[in-house]
Amino acid sequence: EQITVADLAQRMAVKAREVTKLLMKMGEMARESDTIDQATASLVVEEMGHNPVLVSDTKVEDDLQDAVDERSSNVQTRPPVVTIMGHVDHGKTSLLDKIRETKVATGEAGGITQHIGAYHVETDRGVITFLDTPGHAAFSAMRSRGAQATDIVVLVVAADDGMMPQTEEAIDHARAAGTPLIVAINKMDKPSADPDRVLNELTTKEVVSEDWGGDTPMARISAKTGDGIDELLELIGLQAELMELEAPLDGAAQGVVIESKLEKGRGAVVSLLVKKGTLKQGDLVLAGEHYGKVRAMTDERGQRIKSAGPSIPVEILGLPETPAAGSEFLVVTDEKKAREVADFRTNREREQQLERQNKMRLENMFEQMGQGDVSFLNIVLKTDVRGSLEALLAALNELSTDEVKVRVISSGVGPISESDVTLAESSEAVLLGFNVRADSAARRKADTADMDIRYYSVIYGLIDDVKAAMSGMLAPEH
């Protein structure tokens, strides 16, 4: 039995370069495309602190899934789920806000007042559901958990600014996910708007408008005045019709966790997007590593509701803890099996955590044994909700370079506490809060330790600062 270095690395979810490095330490020179024998491969696996995965453990999970699938029936057309992406400041949030404002019938109780991670609106072409966390960081964090929640990506490009780096990244992400793209050329109200320039630039990424002989629908809009938004919604509706999106309406619900947070007095508050079936109050929900009965269910208008069908987002109470954004959820009838799967997943999560730590330790060793010219930027990160936490972790993860490694030594949801400060102090880490503040004990502690706590409310702001900190840490050129 032989395996290539690249395949082995992929199965352990590590970089091929790490395997070749380790092989070199073991006295074996191998390139990524070279094959190695089983004995060597096993050694590598053990050295990297991995355990073999027992495939049979997932059988109970599969049984639950099968039971849910068997109970579903009455396949119907379902609304499309849309994510808005694009470069920072091109108007993603403004567009989401404008649609929310204008598409809720006046007089309807309250309008959309709650942030539950998604909302749905009625249009002439039916219901459309928007995920409320714009940007590709959240999109790819969900996808990395296997949750394909988005049917259509709306790419916002400011007509006065044109294609920018995150525009290109968004195109790449949508392509990688196989999700169709609709372009919204925004800020058309500005005198400096130049939509033809945008069209031109987009063709370099092979995004070509239908007018120009391509197949990407495009709308010219202003998120400020509302102009063109009806046309954009029309394009989304048309695209959805083309895709013939369907889901069973009856039977046990399944779907994906879009956000979760802990709230004082309410416990875990979890937003779910139903993908199949109908979720009802009182249902037993298994989400990620947690399960519980749905005690209460509300929509984005803050109204209590009793049931929710495909593509409809809801906020539920009743889970004992917060499952990760992007986790799949299932309604189950067998509490014993739910517990079994929850336990199994908890263990698996713990093992994977341990694996990651081992890997980090190993990396450390290499670094110390090696050239010794690598710096680390340690980070302690706290955020308001799991969704932003995962988006940030995914983004931070990509920042490491050969010279400076970004290392998140602790992260979590909730205010910055005294123990966060202590940890950051002892590990010489920078302390970052995203949409959260430090509590008073933490602030006192930070004051005495003369430590800086930095607060952010924009993902890119945080990422840019970390980048700047990294370049400050680069070893000076000799």
Which residues line the annotated binding site for GTP? 86-93, 132-136, 186-189
Query: Contacting ligand GDP (CB under 6 A), which of 94, 203, 400, 427?
Result: 94
The active-site residue out of 7, 89, 97, 250 is: 89
Of 35, 77, 93, 422, the catalytic one is 93
Q: Which is nearer to ligand GDP, 83 or 186 (CB)?
A: 186
Q: Is 87 left (phi over 0), alpha (psi -120 to 50) or beta?
A: beta
Dihedral sign computed on CA atoms, order 233, 460, 255, 294 = negative
The position carrying tokens 């030594």 is: 409
Rounded least distance, CB 169 to ligand GDP, Å = 13
- As a whole number of angstroms, the distance between CA 62 and CA 402 comes to 41
CB-based contact 295:301 (threshold 8 Å): no
89 among known catalytic residues: yes
Rounded CA gap, 455 and 439, in Å? 13
Q: Which of 62, 149, 121 is nearest to 340 (CA)?
A: 62
Rg (CA), the chain: 24
The count of other CB atoms within 10 Å of the CB of residue 440 is 10
Q: Which is nearer to ligand GDP, 94 or 417 (CB)?
A: 94
Binding of ligand GDP by 83 (CB under 6 A): no
User: Is 89 a binder of ligand GDP (CB under 6 A)?
Assistant: yes
Residue 136 catalytic? Answer: yes
93 interacts with ligand GDP by CB under 6 A: yes
Q: Is 222 in the site for ligand GDP (CB under 6 A)?
A: yes
CB of 135 to ligand GDP, least distance (A): 8
Q: Is residue 92 annotated as part of the catalytic site, yes or no?
A: yes
343 catalytic residue (yes or no): no
The yes or no reply on residue 277 touching ligand GDP (CB under 6 A) is no
SS3 433: strand
- CA neighbor of 254 nearest in space, from 303, 296, 325, 311: 311
The first and second tokens of residue 457, run together, are 């409310």
Name the segment binding ligand GDP (CB under 6 A); options: 2-10, 25-33, 87-95, 125-133: 87-95
In this complex, which beta carbon is closest to ligand GDP, that of residue 92 or of residue 290? Answer: 92
Cα separation, 39 vs 273, in Å, equals 46
Q: Residues forming the annotated binding site?
A: 86-93, 132-136, 186-189
Q: Which is nearer to ligand GDP, 44 or 223 (CB)?
A: 223
Q: Which stretch binds ligand GDP (CB under 6 A): 219-227, 270-278, 364-372, 400-408?
A: 219-227
CB 275 within 8 A of CB 310: yes
Check residue 224 for interaction with ligand GDP (CB under 6 A).
Answer: yes
Quick one: which segment of 26-34, 71-79, 216-224, 239-247 binds ligand GDP (CB under 6 A)?
216-224
Q: How many residues bind ligand GDP (CB under 6 A)?
A: 16
Distance CA(23)–CA(8), nearest Å, equals 12
Residue 134 touches ligand GDP, criterion: CB under 6 A: yes
Report strand pairing: 152-158 vs 118-123.
unpaired
Pairing of strands 284-287, 279-280: unpaired
Cβ 421 vs Cβ 441: under 8 Å: no
> Taking the complex as a whole, how short is the minimal distance between the CB of residue 134 and ligand GDP, in angstroms?
6
Q: Is 150 left (phi over 0), alpha (psi -120 to 50) or beta?
A: beta
> Binding to ligand GDP by residue 313, rule CB under 6 A?
no
Closest distance between ligand GDP and the C-beta of residue 190, in Å?
Answer: 5
For ligand GDP, give the closer residue by CB, 87 or 382: 87
β partners of residue 209: 216
Q: Does 88 sit near ligand GDP (CB under 6 A)?
A: yes
Closer residue to ligand GDP in complex, CB, 230/367: 230
Question: Helix, strand, coil shares of the chain as percentages rounded to 5?
Answer: 40, 25, 35
Amino acid at 127: V
Shortest separation between residue 101's beta carbon and ligand GDP, angstroms: 13
Taking the least distance from each CB to ligand GDP, the nearer of 21 and 100 is 100
How do beta strands 307-308 and 279-280 pair? antiparallel
Tokens describing residue 474: 């680069």
Task: Give the residue with the Cβ less far from ligand GDP, 190 or 293.
Answer: 190
Interactions with ligand GDP, residue window 155-194 (CB under 6 A): 186-187, 189-190
Q: Per CB under 6 A, does 28 bind ligand GDP?
A: no
Only one of the segments 107-115, 217-225, 285-293, 464-472 lies at the binding site for ligand GDP (rule: CB under 6 A); that segment is: 217-225
Does 58 help bind ligand GDP (rule: CB under 6 A)? Answer: no
Please report, for residues 69, 93, 249, 297, 372, the alpha-carbon distance to residue 272 in angstroms, rounded to integers and kept in the order given. 18, 21, 16, 10, 46
List residues with catalytic annotation: 89, 92-93, 136
Q: Interface residues with ligand GDP (CB under 6 A)?
A: 86, 88-94, 134, 186-187, 189-190, 222-224
